[in-house]
Structure 1
Amino acid sequence: MLWAGSKGGLEVRTSADGATRLRGRFPYSTPTVLRGGREPRREVFEARAFGASVADGGDIHLLVHHDFDRPLASRSAGSLEIRDGDDALTFEAVIAPEMREVSYVADFLGTLAAGLVGGISPGFRVPEGGDRVKRDGQGLMRVVKTADLIEVSAVTKPAYPDAQVEARNWGRAAPEGAVNRQAAMLRWRA
């Protein structure tokens, strides 16, 4: 799975019933530099890149730092709504008052209130033909045309626009269990 992110797209409000509402936004058509240097590597998501995943109604989770052991909300639980538009992927999550007593949720809400967490980072997979890499006068640019959205996370250091990256594999995926040495050599780390 790959990750991307956007800084400052997270908003929190507590309602009268004690539930916490989180809203977030991951903008499309906003390129970022994943790695500078002699040959910069950049990435951009086209409008509605996650459209098929959002439309299919499958389960998607809101997580803390891409950790499935720290869920905040999900579509299947009815606590996460996701919308795909021309300008951004947006979501609204409701954290029930009971969840505030869970230690990692209390920790997350505390770091959020302190301004230490505020970025949005989708976890995704790019299907065959879902992206293209082109070279121009500014280096390499990966254009993600379509991707399968698996989860959305609140993070401290998102890839967008702060150029932080977990891993980028720009080679073709190897069959499961196979070692793809070319893909391993093309993996980007910042």
Structure 2
Amino acid sequence: MTVTTEERRRLALAATGAELRADDSGKERFGGLASPFGVRAAIGNPKTWGFYEEFAPGAYTKTMQEGDQRMLIDHDSYYVVSRVSAGTLKLSQSARGLEVDSRLDEDLSYVRDLKANLRNANITGMSIGFYVVKDTWTTIEIDEEGDDGKTRVFEADLRTVQEVRLIEVSAVTFPAFVDTEAELNSVSAALLCRGDVGAIESRAVYRPELRDLLQVVKREPGETTRADESTEPELPTRRHLDSIDLAMRGLSARYGLKLPA
């Protein structure tokens, strides 16, 4: 059983080239790379309880056609800087990845604050909030040089994100995870989406907190092949689904995950 929760990924502005830029009329806009394609990033500790991740080219194609994304400050929906449907936010895909071009309306006091914080390097990161629609997991080998100068090989999981539903992009104060708890939240969200009991159990050896995910991700019996059946679930099944819902609410509160409406 897989469960989809909102995930977030952060990058330093220095690594993406996102910055304040003047348009043809001299007004400042905010633009640059929000999410790179084909760049392998470590989520948690890939050698033990984490994994590597990269976004495949075209991962945003469908969501850009269907969505109405916003640009926010620190993922706070109170601070809406721009929006696709309003024509103030433009998203595009280049060979590098997802590109952002946002108008900055100085009639909004927090946008004036954002510009000042960007100039003063108080805000130094870019982040995206998204749901994974399609991904693949593979095992890869990584060469690592030890303190003794010898090269050792270890296996790790690589998650390739092939399609996402993008919710928003944000200018953020912290360009990277500031503690392992935040990384644990990201690993938890990805494992819920993956729905693989074995993957959870192997990581729970190193991070026992992840074992809580097994309350939701369970070995389910095979589904019927008769796709035209749409009967109401029997009472025991409904009770099981209710228990899953309660468990998910508890996990979302504990790990700071956002469940879809």
Q: TM-score range by the shorter chain?
A: 0.7 to 0.9
What CA distance in whole angstroms lies between the structure 2 residues aligned with 1:90 and 1:134?
27
1:54 aligns with 2:60: no
Of 132-141 and 148-157, more deviation after overlay is shown by 132-141
What CA distance in whole angstroms lies between the structure 2 residues aligned with 1:52 and 1:159?
27
Q: Structure 2 residue aligned with 1:77, among 83, 86, 107? A: 86
Instruction: Give 1:1-80 correspondences, 5 Å limit.
Output: 1-8=6-13, 9=16, 10-14=18-22, 19-25=27-33, 26-36=35-45, 38-39=47-48, 40-56=50-66, 58-80=67-89
Q: Deviations over 1:124-166 (max 9, x none)?
A: 0012xx0122233342221111100110111133359xx9746
Higher RCO structure, 1 or 2 (CA under 8 Å, sep 6+): 1
What CA distance in whole angstroms lies between the structure 1 residues aligned with 2:84 and 2:55?
23
Using the TM superposition, give the Cα deviation of residue 19 of structure 1 relative to its aligned residue in structure 2, in angstroms.
Answer: 3.7
Q: Is the 8 A contact 1:20 1:97 kept in 2?
A: no
Identity %: 24
Q: Deviations over 1:41-74 (max 9, x none)?
A: 2111111111111122x31101111111111100
What CA distance in whole angstroms lies between the structure 1 residues aligned with 2:60 and 2:121?
28
> Which has the larger share of helix?
2
Residue aligning to 2:116: 110
What root-mean-square deviation, in Å, do the aligned CA atoms of Structure 1 and Structure 2 show? 3.1
Code of the aligned partner of 1:29: G
Code of the aligned partner of 2:30: L
Pick closer, same or farther for the CA change 1:131–1:16 going to 2, 3 Å. closer
Structure 1 unmatched runs, 5+? none
How many residue pairs get aligned? The number is 178
Using the TM superposition, give the Cα deviation of residue 92 of structure 1 relative to its aligned residue in structure 2, in angstroms.
Answer: 0.6
Q: Is the 8 A contact 1:48 1:86 kept in 2?
A: no
Residue aligning to 1:171: 192
Residue aligning to 1:158: 175
Structure number, greater radius of gyration? 2
TM-score by length of 2: 0.59
Code of the aligned partner of 1:131: D
Pick closer, same or farther for the CA change 1:147–1:178 going to 2, 3 Å. farther
Code of the aligned partner of 2:74: H
Q: Deviations over 1:99-127 (max 9, x none)?
A: 2xx1x323322221112323221110012
Of 106-115 and 75-84, more deviation after overlay is shown by 106-115
What CA distance in whole angstroms lies between the structure 2 residues aligned with 1:180 and 1:59?
27
What CA distance in whole angstroms lies between the structure 2 residues aligned with 1:180 and 1:93?
35
Residue aligning to 1:88: 97
1:120 aligns with 2:120: no
Code of the aligned partner of 1:150: I
Using the TM superposition, give the Cα deviation of residue 16 of structure 1 relative to its aligned residue in structure 2, in angstroms.
Answer: 8.1
TM-score by length of 1: 0.78
Q: Is the 8 A contact 1:84 1:90 kept in 2?
A: yes
Q: Deviations over 1:22-58 (max 9, x none)?
A: 10212110011122374252111111111111122x3
What CA distance in whole angstroms lies between the structure 2 residues aligned with 1:171 and 1:29?
23
What CA distance in whole angstroms lies between the structure 2 residues aligned with 1:136 and 1:29?
15
